[in-house]
Structure 1
Amino acid sequence: MILVTGGTGLVGSHLLWNLVQAGHKPRATYRTKKKLASTKKVFSYYDNTNEALFNAIEWVQCDLLDITALEKAFEGISFVYHAAALISFEPKDYQKLLKVNVEGTYNLVNLCIAHNIKKLCYVSSIAAIGDSIGDKPVKESNEWNENSTSGYAVSKHAAEMEVWRASQEGIPSVIVNPGVILGPGFWKSGSGLFFYAAWKESKYYLPNGTGFVSVNDVVSAMVKLMESKVKNERFILVNQNWSYFKLNVLLAKQLNKKTPKKELKIWMLNILWRMDWIKSFVTGSRRKLSKHAVKILGQTQFYDNSKINEFITDYKFEELQKATAHHCSLFLKEQDF
């Protein structure tokens, strides 16, 4: 039996669809019943019989830090997809990131070892990949530099160390390091905000760029890796190295909206993060922009995606523009959300 943690997130929900339509009856973890609606909505994008397929999932209410509940979720499990994580670039969430992403993965790895799981797949991030060397694209082997990363990146890197521990304890493991994942269903958080900003006809766009990939590409790679003999390897999943401007213009056009015209300069962002800090300090509101986030936006890193094709010869990235066009069509159907 297959266990998917984080079944109500962007990757988890699309992964579950892939698994159930292939005939599997996976078990998936969730934290609150309200979150289940997100997965149901994702299923509705694919098939009119989504209710029946959704009911093929065995849902378990479980927190990665609740070892007793997690232990029950592992009963009868042979394969584990670990997609649950806290994603935050809020500086004051640093300890929480370590608690959820690192300690949570530590607990999961211990149970994988105790239950002699056949294979583990962990969803990490390009944030946990080392910096580029000169003008060369970033590869999986690039050296990690903790001093140049965010709290989120530190937590994902440390979680990877737990997965490597599992591999040393006899659990075949694979790690995927996706770029910015573009996909439908979560429009007001994460990468969904790119679609929302384009729809609102934002006049500004972010400087520089990064690696982007569709959620379907991420899920496809995960399933193929788990079904293969590949073990104890990590893979960068980036379809295109794009500037934020290119992405924003593309989404605006696909949503039939005006394209952004003004770049947010780094000096402007440095002012904005300070203003955001003051607002957060005075009102207690969550930060929307941090000093480190601005530092990241001040540089462009390109990623080498060739390794996945070396190990999975039939893997092919979908055309990203075609994927975003489909995502935008789904977005437009939900304009009244």
Structure 2
Amino acid sequence: MTIDYLVTGATGLVGNNLVRVLLEKQCTVRILARETSSRRPLQGLDVEWVIGDVTDKDAVQRAVTGVNCVLHAAADTHIGWRGLNRQRLINVQGTTFVAHAALTQGIRVVQISSVDALPIAKSPQEVIDEEATGEPKSKCTYVVTKRQSEAEVFRLLDKGLDAVIVNPGFMLGPWDWKPSSGRMLLSIAKHPSPVAPTGGMSGCDVRDVATAIVSAAERGVRGRRYILAGENITYLDAWQRMARQVGARPPRWRMGPLVRIIAGYGGDLWGYVSGGEPEVNSALIEMSQQFHYYDSSRAKRELDYQTRSFDTSIRDAWEWLKREHYV
């Protein structure tokens, strides 16, 4: 029996929402997950499990064999400076294995990348689309490896791979089991700050992104990139909205240079002392000063990408976190 879709990263925010969208469409779904992956995110869902890892070439080949399309959501999304080898293994080599397996099977793969792999607006007035050229400003390991993973997909396109790349913005929504972006809501609720980052983001709903990814699989143009972003807002505005939703005191000011230095390099110093890398570090601070503003017009035209209000996404993400006892 042929399976409609293989989803990698199915226990993560994007992958888990993808699985649910596919099942609602009556599609058959296979997932590739590590032996150590929690079963809770997929409890009660009718999916076929293949135990393995995207960094295991043989496991990837087993998972891809007998499916019609691959939705590759697995990634290491940590923002920092110290995870290059790990992120190259997962983000670059893993993508290469998945794309090459899809090529050998003659099936489509949708590479789920990020707007972080794209150029950055030079000012708050500029909005980036798929035709923008140049390199991202940040050289943190996540950005570098997501660019490299895209390059691998484009390289295999020249060899006949049927692939589409999607670049989601900052996603919020339910089914955030790890949690990932939901940590921002939890942090604002537990440790409200009077200041917010100076830059901006493109806030979108993971459910809308997941629906558009399936559309990209069904009718996206081979070799084309689609930005799946949302409302372009400053971090100050976003954090104020989040604070109001979670019942915390909203920030009033943008983060000044001294606070950025203390937070960023203080995090780096703690990482060197502890042997790890904290979530708040100079790479994260650097990226939060940039304006990640994007235009999703192509996806709206070609994929019928529809976006709900970011306030709705904030509310639904928070309600889900409360329901699942993260709060």
User: Would you say same fold, with TM above 0.5?
Assistant: yes
Distance 1:244 1:151 in 2: 22
Alpha carbons 1:209, 1:242 under 8 Å: kept: yes
Could you tell me which residue of structure 1 aligns to residue 11 of structure 2? 8
Query: How far is the alpha carbon of 1:309 from its aligned partner?
Result: 1.9
> Is the counterpart of residue 311 in structure 1 residue 306 in structure 2?
no
TM-score, scaled to structure 2: 0.91
Query: How far is the alpha carbon of 1:332 from its aligned partner?
Result: 2.7
Tell me which of 71, 88, 93 is aligned to 2:78: 88
> Is the counterpart of residue 266 in structure 1 residue 257 in structure 2?
yes
Query: Which digits, 9 at most, give the CA deviation of each residue in 1:92-134, with x for residues without a partner?
Result: 10121112111111111111111111x1111100111123356
Tell me which of 113, 121, 144 is aligned to 1:132: 121
Distance 1:262 1:133 in 2: 22
Distance 1:181 1:266 in 2: 27
What SS is found at the alignment partner of 1:92?
Answer: coil
Alpha carbons 1:125, 1:178 under 8 Å: kept: yes
For residue 206 of structure 1, what is the amino acid of its counterpart?
P
Cα–Cα, structure 1 residues 194 and 336, in superposed 2: closer, same or farther, change >3 Å?
Answer: closer
Alpha carbons 2:80, 2:140 under 8 Å: kept: no
Distance 2:253 2:122 in 1: 30
Distance 1:147 1:320 in 2: 26
Distance 1:111 1:165 in 2: 14
> Is the counterpart of residue 221 in structure 1 residue 212 in structure 2?
yes
Distance 1:165 1:22 in 2: 32
Alpha carbons 1:27, 1:59 under 8 Å: kept: yes
For residue 8 of structure 1, what is the amino acid of its counterpart?
T
> Which moves more between the two structures, 213-222 or 25-34?
25-34
Query: How far is the alpha carbon of 1:187 from its aligned partner?
Result: 6.7
> Is the counterpart of residue 212 in structure 1 residue 215 in structure 2?
no
For residue 297 of structure 2, what is the amino acid of its counterpart?
S
Query: How far is the alpha carbon of 1:240 from its aligned partner?
Result: 0.5
Query: How far is the alpha carbon of 1:61 from its aligned partner?
Result: 1.3
What SS is found at the alignment partner of 1:91?
Answer: coil
For residue 102 of structure 2, what is the amino acid of its counterpart?
C
What SS is found at the alignment partner of 1:321?
Answer: helix
Alignment of 1:77-226 (within 5 A): 77-117=67-107, 119-132=108-121, 135-145=125-135, 148-186=138-176, 189-200=179-190, 202-204=192-194, 205-226=196-217
Distance 2:273 2:305 in 1: 50
Alpha carbons 2:227, 2:295 under 8 Å: kept: yes
Cα–Cα, structure 1 residues 272 and 237, in superposed 2: closer, same or farther, change >3 Å?
Answer: same
> Is the counterpart of residue 32 in structure 1 residue 74 in structure 2?
no
Number of aligned positions between the proteins: 322
Query: How far is the alpha carbon of 1:189 from its aligned partner?
Result: 4.1
Could you tell me which residue of structure 2 aligns to residue 48 of structure 1? none
Percent of aligned pairs sharing the same letter: 26
What SS is found at the alignment partner of 1:27?
Answer: strand
Distance 2:122 2:277 in 1: 34
Distance 1:188 1:9 in 2: 7
Unaligned 5+ segments in structure 1 are: 41-50
CA RMSD of aligned residues (A): 2.1
What SS is found at the alignment partner of 2:322?
Answer: helix
Query: How far is the alpha carbon of 1:166 from its aligned partner?
Result: 3.1
Distance 2:325 2:247 in 1: 13
Cα–Cα, structure 1 residues 188 and 229, in superposed 2: closer, same or farther, change >3 Å?
Answer: closer
Query: How far is the alpha carbon of 1:192 from its aligned partner?
Result: 1.0
Query: Which digits, 9 at most, give the CA deviation of each residue in 1:58-102, with x for residues without a partner?
Result: 011111111121121122112010001111123110121112111
Query: How far is the alpha carbon of 1:316 from its aligned partner?
Result: 1.6
Cα–Cα, structure 1 residues 272 and 326, in superposed 2: closer, same or farther, change >3 Å?
Answer: closer
Alpha carbons 1:94, 1:151 under 8 Å: kept: yes
Alpha carbons 1:112, 1:166 under 8 Å: kept: no
Alpha carbons 2:264, 2:283 under 8 Å: kept: no
> Is the counterpart of residue 320 in structure 1 residue 310 in structure 2?
yes
What SS is found at the alignment partner of 1:35?
Answer: coil
Higher relative contact order (CA 8 A, sep 6+): 2
Alpha carbons 1:30, 1:36 under 8 Å: kept: no
TM-score, scaled to structure 1: 0.88
